[in-house]
């Protein structure tokens, strides 16, 4: 786990990055396909291997499932990182009561932890709806897909 000082140094160094400068570098960067976040591509492949969707409806349902699972995991990761950073910054006398101190500190300031929990809770129904429309993994078939809720299409 990176220390607070390391994370601050990374953020400061990132501000100096200007991207490609040569015409060749700019052309290569603009033609590169967008990379998926680490782990998302593998999750999508694993779900596709398990369910083997056929047709647009099943593929769409699988996309909803993958997105819902990914968002749940993402918000859990973010929450864990925030708690780890705050723990590292706690004075030694507060460490025996670390979670309480972290939540009190958060409640008095930016209130990030409840915001993250609300986002995670909002992402869960998407995965739950998709899971509810799947058949047992033994059948490897997805149930008939219904049109997704408009809020299901968020950014990663």
User: What confidence tens digit (pLDDT) does each residue in 73-99 have?
Assistant: 999 999 999 999 999 999 999 999 999
Residue 108, token pair as written in the block:
């008095």
Confidence of residue 12 (pLDDT cuts 50, 70, 90): low
Is the pLDDT higher at 153 or at 6? 6
For residue 62, is it within any domain? Answer: yes
For residue 57, is it within any domain? Answer: yes
Domain, as residue range, for 98: 38-148
Confidence of residue 18 (pLDDT cuts 50, 70, 90): low
For residue 19, is it within any domain? Answer: no
Residue 26, token pair as written in the block:
């700019």
What span, in angstroms and rounded, lies between the C-alpha atoms of 22 and 127?
A: 43
Domain tally, the chain: 1
Taking residue 44's Cβ as centre, other Cβ atoms within 10 Å add up to 18
pLDDT value, residue 145: 42
For residue 53, is it within any domain? Answer: yes
**Is the pLDDT score of 137 beyond 80?**
no
For residue 89, is it within any domain? Answer: yes
- Which residues, other chains included, contact 76 with Cβ-Cβ below 8 Å and sequence gap of 6+? 120
What span, in angstroms and rounded, lies between the C-alpha atoms of 28 and 60?
A: 31
pLDDT value, residue 80: 95
Confidence of residue 141 (pLDDT cuts 50, 70, 90): low
What span, in angstroms and rounded, lies between the C-alpha atoms of 73 and 37?
A: 12
Name the nearest CA neighbour of 66 among 123, 111, 9.
Answer: 123
DSSP helix/strand/coil, 147? coil
């Amino acid at each position: 786990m990176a220390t607070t000082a390391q994370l601050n140094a990374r953020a400061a160094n990132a501000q100096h990055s200007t991207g490609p400068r040569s015409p060749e570098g700019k052309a290569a960067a603009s033609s590169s396909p967008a990379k998926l976040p680490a782990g998302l591509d593998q999750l999508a492949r694993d779900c596709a291997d398990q369910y083997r969707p056929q047709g647009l409806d099943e593929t769409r349902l699988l996309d909803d499932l993958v997105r819902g699972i990914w968002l749940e995991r993402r918000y859990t990761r973010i929450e864990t990182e925030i708690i780890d950073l705050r723990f590292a910054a706690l004075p030694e006398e507060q460490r025996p009561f670390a979670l309480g101190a972290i939540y009190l500190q958060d409640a008095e300031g930016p209130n990030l932890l409840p915001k993250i929990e609300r986002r995670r809770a909002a992402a869960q129904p998407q995965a739950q709806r998709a899971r509810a429309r799947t058949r047992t993994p033994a059948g490897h078939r997805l149930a008939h897909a219904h049109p997704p809720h408009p809020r299901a299409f968020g950014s990663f």
